Structure 1
Amino acid sequence: MKEQILILFFVILIEKTTCSFWNEIPPRCIYDRTTLFSCWNTTFTHPIPLFNDLTYTLQNHYVQIRDSYFQLSLNDLFIYVSSNIENLLLINNTFSLLSFNKSEKIYFRLLQSLQIHDNKSLQWFQLNTSYFPQLIKLDLSYNQLTNKKILLFNQQYYPILKYLNLSHNQLESIDNLTGNCLNRIENLILSFNPLKTIINKINQFQSLIFLDLSSTLIKQLFSITLLPRLETFLCCYCQEILIEEYEKFLSNCSQSYNYLILDLTQTNIISLKFFNTYIKCIKDLTFNNQNLIDSISIQDFLFSINLQNIQMQNINKIDYINLNVYDRLKSIDFSYNMNLKYVSLHLMSDYTYLQRLIVSHTTVEDFSVNFNNTIQTFLHIDIIDMSHSRLETLHFLKYLTFYVLDVSYNRLKIIDINQIYFRHGIYELTSMNLLNLSSNEMEFIKINWNNESPHTIDLSQNKLKSIELHGQSTYTLLLNENLNLSLTPITFNIDLPLLQYLDLNSIHIDSLENLIYLHNLSNIHTLLLNNNHLNKKYRTLNWHIFYPWHRTLTHLSLQNISLEKIDSGAYLNDYYHLLTINFYSNNHLICDCTLQPFINWLKTPPPSLIDFYEPLQKVLSINCPIKLFELNCNRGKTKSTLFITFLIIGIFLIILLIIFILLYCYMKQKRSKSYRHMFTDNDLIALTEQNVIQRTDD
């Protein structure tokens, strides 16, 4: 009996252990055994264990629990693992219990970031009395917090708290924020609250660097001297603040230790002249969606010596901008100003270096740079975006260097810039990466760079009829979808000795023989000739037209160009670097033995390169049945070779026979002639008698 009871006890113990919630990771939970433990839509009935075996050890982890159901308090849930969590995220979780023991406290020894979202604030009020000795970032947004409950932040529980996010709550003031660690907080976010005033408490945040009051109902501002360390002030969509309050806020900004970052998107400021008095204090200015009554003249921002970034978007009444540019200015964004027609930059320093200029989606017709106050003759801007505007000329290319210049979707028609010359040794010239002139209505372009030229020039989707380009460092040229452009010496003049990638898709090429006008481009690696309609009498491919590029060509595409036949005698052994050939969509191309050189090329493995780990692969794209690769083209060659061999032997034998016959006839004729003239004894006797008679007569 005792043995049966003992066995039953062990069976029950094993069953309990097997059915335990934490013997394995529950459904809808992820544990990667290294850093992350995440659960969603899960019911928790037991505390989270440490998983004491080496395989499962929750230590220094990121823990997140979403949309789950707790049958125990958070204090009980984390009682074993709280001291090992570094980041904790709790979002929209619910509880079976509505009352909790507030005297329970947990020690979050390593926790650095805590984020809690809860419409009833139940999660936060269970943890707010715990100890957070390493907590730096506390996010209590979306908790429906009101002024009825005190938010206590004492140094005893939050000794190094720096970041406090209270956005998207129901706070009307910050009077309920108490505690002796408020003066240590550096980032305070109060946006999207029905906030009306902060004046009573704001002076307690003496270490504040970042303050966000966006989308609040606040009406009064404070003097910036109350927050001596403040650097960033966001007040987007603050519609209740009058301009006098901004004056009060900035009145003594010169006494501040830092330059300000201001975001005043969609406020009640109606003129930028308001900032002229305080512009020395401003480092970044964002001023979007405003109802300005005037444009920016050269007298505005006259002393913006510390300004680094300026952004003004969606201001309908601004039609011109004359901006004074000092050496600290890095970024200018005037995009989406639909009535902006003219932009001029007036350089006020010899050391100006802009990183970004955005004037896209405007009606700008002209852009210029004024160098009167400097000794410089050119300006470098890393990224220039003037797309979707109304530019009709690019005269500024003569004094502007760039990494990327985008003037696509403008009204460019004729560009004639004879000489663009920059002195040698300018570092920025070596990095002129892209000039995008696509999607205009351009009919003629002539640009002559005397030295460095953009690495990539995009002239696609225009109406080009004639092109003339000269430059020393262009590697890629895109001319696709210029339906009126043909390859003739008169209309196509390109002197780009380093050009490697040439896109001539969908232009007007009626004969591949016209490619001879490209043979001066000796470094072509990739040549795209797709979607060109060849003339009926030029639909036979003469492969030798590509021979000038046999040392460099790697990719050749002849897709959909109405090819019907490939001339016999194609020889590809000299094309050492060729990797892809595309004959696809030439539906009338004859698939016969004229393609045998290309099949042999495909079967020959490409050369191995030491610098590449993966071997190179060849690709041949063609609309032919697979049996083309099994076609025996050598049978006909063997028969013809034998026929020619026998024919040559026969002719040789006939010639040899004729020679023997002629020799025989010649020898026979010679023998008969010798016999007729042979002297006999009778002849000698007759001659002797005649001689005797002649002597007797004498």
Structure 2
Amino acid sequence: NLNEIHFQNGMYNLALMDNLNLSHNIIEQINIKWHRESPHTIDLSYNNLKFVYLHGQTTYNLNLSSNYQLTLDNNVQLNLSQLKYIDLSNINFRSFKNVNLFHNLTTIQTLILNNNHLDMKILNWNVFHPMSKYLTHLSLYNMSIEQLEGYLDNQKQLLTIDLYKNNIKCDCSLKTLVKWLNFTSETYKYYDVLKRAVRIKCNIYEVAADDLCDQTSIRISSLTKYLILFIMAILIFVVIIKLINRFIKRLKHRRNNFYHRVYTDADVITLDERNLRENNDE
């Protein structure tokens, strides 16, 4: 087991080293800055890494997998201008939200995030936008993803996506994935689009076919339309009932006033008759 490395000048003078393999140790921190050439391949898998800082100009492959305490926040700082491949499987990665590291991986062609179980089960494709210029292979195997959001229109170079062993629903939310699969050279005039592939536990062509999704959207819009009409009918009915009640109350009020006037006139006539009788008697 190796937990500390001491060189007279660190590793800065090991410029001709092509492969640096420090896997299966108990290293917790690593801080290396190569001023010129750096190893083409660096393997730091199966350690106890909590902090990583790497600076180099010629590192193409980096393996940080199976560092179970490693989080993708400020504890991982990579200044590797030519990095093409990175494996971040089996680390402490819980959410795609605010992953600043992705903004520094603009040259990445292969990104592996397998076996990182997310707390938030939603994946928005837009998080990979900083890597859209070169990203060709994306592996999201067994990450507890349940829902896909966003668009893949800007992923012009992306060829393969691995979504196997996730809990993604086989419904029209996969239409974006189908659209990405069907992109051709005619779609992108200045790109030669190669054959694309996706691995997912679902027959996306059958479930997310255009006609099926369109029919579903039509049914949803029809239901919404009928629901609005139903609510409007109820409101109109309530208004009519209120108007009828108000009219009945006014009618009753008028009748009461009429009966009151008739009663008063009769009283006047009766009083007049009594006065006449009294005068005659006298």
Query: Same fold judged by TM-score > 0.5?
Result: yes
Q: Distance in 1 between matches of 2:137 and 2:220?
A: 35
1:509 corresponds to 2:101: no
**1:548 offset after TM fit, Å?**
1.0
Equivalent residue number for residue 484 of structure 1: 69
Q: 1:533 to 1:391 in 2, by over 3 A?
A: closer
1:469 corresponds to 2:61: no
* Equivalent residue for 1:439, pick from 24, 32, 38: 24
1:603 corresponds to 2:182: yes
Q: Secondary structure at the match of 1:633?
A: helix
Kept after mapping to 2: 8 A contact 1:487/1:514: no
- Whichever residue aligns with residue 543 of structure 1, its letter is W
**1:393 offset after TM fit, Å?**
4.2
Q: Distance in 1 between matches of 2:20 and 2:8?
A: 10
- Whichever residue aligns with residue 558 of structure 1, its letter is L
Equivalent residue number for residue 143 of structure 2: 561
Offset from partner CA, 1:218-251 (integer Å, 9 cap, x none): xxxxxxxxxxxxxxxxxxxxxxxxxxxxxxxxxx
Offset from partner CA, 1:42-101 (integer Å, 9 cap, x none): xxxxxxxxxxxxxxxxxxxxxxxxxxxxxxxxxxxxxxxxxxxxxxxxxxxxxxxxxxxx
- Return the index of the structure with the highest Cα Rg: 1
Higher helix share: 2
Q: 1:434 to 1:559 in 2, by over 3 A?
A: same
Higher strand share: 1
Q: 1:392 to 1:492 in 2, by over 3 A?
A: closer
Q: Secondary structure at the match of 2:99?
A: helix
Kept after mapping to 2: 8 A contact 1:516/1:545: no
Equivalent residue number for residue 621 of structure 1: 199
Percent of aligned pairs sharing the same letter: 41
Q: Distance in 1 between matches of 2:141 and 2:162?
A: 6
**1:520 offset after TM fit, Å?**
1.6
State how 1:358-507 maps to structure 2 within 5 Å.
393-396=4-7, 398=9, 417=10, 420=12, 429=15, 432-489=17-74, 491-507=75-91
Highest RCO, 1 vs 2 (Cα 8 Å, sep ≥ 6): 2
- Whichever residue aligns with residue 529 of structure 1, its letter is L
**1:555 offset after TM fit, Å?**
0.5
Kept after mapping to 1: 8 A contact 2:3/2:25: no
Q: Distance in 1 between matches of 2:3 and 2:82?
A: 29
Q: Secondary structure at the match of 2:97?
A: helix
Q: Secondary structure at the match of 1:523?
A: coil
Q: Distance in 2 between matches of 1:620 and 1:507?
A: 24
**1:580 offset after TM fit, Å?**
0.3
Kept after mapping to 2: 8 A contact 1:566/1:595: yes
Q: Distance in 1 between matches of 2:80 and 2:20?
A: 15
Q: 1:509 to 1:603 in 2, by over 3 A?
A: same
**1:392 offset after TM fit, Å?**
5.5
**CA RMSD of superposed structures (Å):** 2.6
Q: Could you state the TM-score of these two structures normalised by the residue count of structure 2?
A: 0.69
Q: Distance in 2 between matches of 1:453 and 1:493?
A: 16
Q: Distance in 2 between matches of 1:454 and 1:493?
A: 17
State how 1:507-546 maps to structure 2 within 5 Å.
507-535=91-119, 538-546=120-128
Kept after mapping to 1: 8 A contact 2:67/2:91: yes
Q: Distance in 1 between matches of 2:197 and 2:68?
A: 29
Equivalent residue number for residue 574 of structure 1: 154
- Whichever residue aligns with residue 633 of structure 1, its letter is C
Kept after mapping to 2: 8 A contact 1:606/1:617: no
* Equivalent residue for 2:134, pick from 529, 543, 552: 552
**1:522 offset after TM fit, Å?**
1.2
Q: Secondary structure at the match of 1:545?
A: helix
